[in-house]
Amino acid sequence: MNNMIRIVLADDHTIVRDGIKYLLEEEENISIVGEASNGQEALEMVAKTEPDILIIDIRMPVMNGIEAVKILNSKPTKTKAIVLSMHDSEEYILNSINAKAMGYLLKDSGKDEILKAIDKVFHNEKYFSGAISNVIINNLLEKKQQPESIPTPKSKQDLPFQLTKKEFQILKLILSGKTNKEISEELQNSTRTIETHRFKLMKKMHVKNSIELSAKASQFGLI
């Protein structure tokens, strides 16, 4: 992270804001340019300081974090939102995604994960912790199990990317939640071979993580 990253913190608990500031204050490329104790104040502070990132709690008085993020993203803005919460409930996570939050972190996240999230979001990439990613993927898989929500599968010829039979097989296993080791055992291949196939699969589909892979597979009716 070479550029200065300007951040606004929004949480109705001063101790939480102070804790995050304590974790970030030693980072030379990060500057806390504003604080807020509710969603309305957060939007006002963002308008005033135009930060790169807004780190915002979900449950706050006056206006909650999800509503604030939704309003923030309802018009052009350079500020990207990372939702911070004590809750890993599916409802909160999916509502945050629908509000176009770029990241979702649990309040018990360590410094390294917080910095990683900030870096990813600053560079216009989404970031969700491992536990959160599982909730999102499971939600997508559950929807695909409902016949009325399954799109008509496309033929290989209709796809903008060409997957081999093995890659289709691995794609299905990845989206079922299996690890590389579990896939290697099921297909009786080495873990390194599975890792190679997985890398090529994600490269062909132009995705960087399991969340994007699930979304792309859903888009083209592969699951």
Q: How does the average pLDDT of the chain come out, rounded?
A: 82
Q: Answer yes or no: are the C-beta atoms of 204 and 215 closer than 8 Å.
A: no
Mean pLDDT of 98-124: 91
Instruction: Find the helix or strand (DSSP H, E) in which 141 lies.
Output: helix 130-144
pLDDT tens sequence across 181-223: 888 888 888 888 888 888 888 888 888 877 777 777 776 666 5
> pLDDT at residue 144 above 70?
no
Coarse DSSP helix, strand, coil percentages of the chain, rounded to the nearest 5 percent = 50, 15, 35
- Compute φ and ψ for 90, nearest 5 degrees: -60, -40
pLDDT of residue 40: 95
- Look at 192 and 153; give whichever has higher pLDDT: 192
pLDDT of residue 132: 65
pLDDT of residue 200: 85
Domains, the chain, with CATH or none:
5-134 (3.40.50.2300), 143-219 (1.10.10.10)
Confidence (pTM): 0.62
Instruction: Find the helix or strand (DSSP H, E) in which 85 lies.
Output: strand 80-85
Mean pLDDT of 173-187: 83
pLDDT of residue 217: 75
> pLDDT at residue 106 above 50?
yes
pLDDT of residue 122: 96
pLDDT of residue 147: 46
Give the C-alpha separation, 57 to 78, whole Å: 19
Who's near 8: CB < 8 A, 6+ residues apart? Answer: 32, 33, 34, 35, 36, 42, 45, 46, 49, 51, 53, 54, 55, 79
Which of 29, 28, 26 shows the shortest CA–CA distance to 3?
A: 29
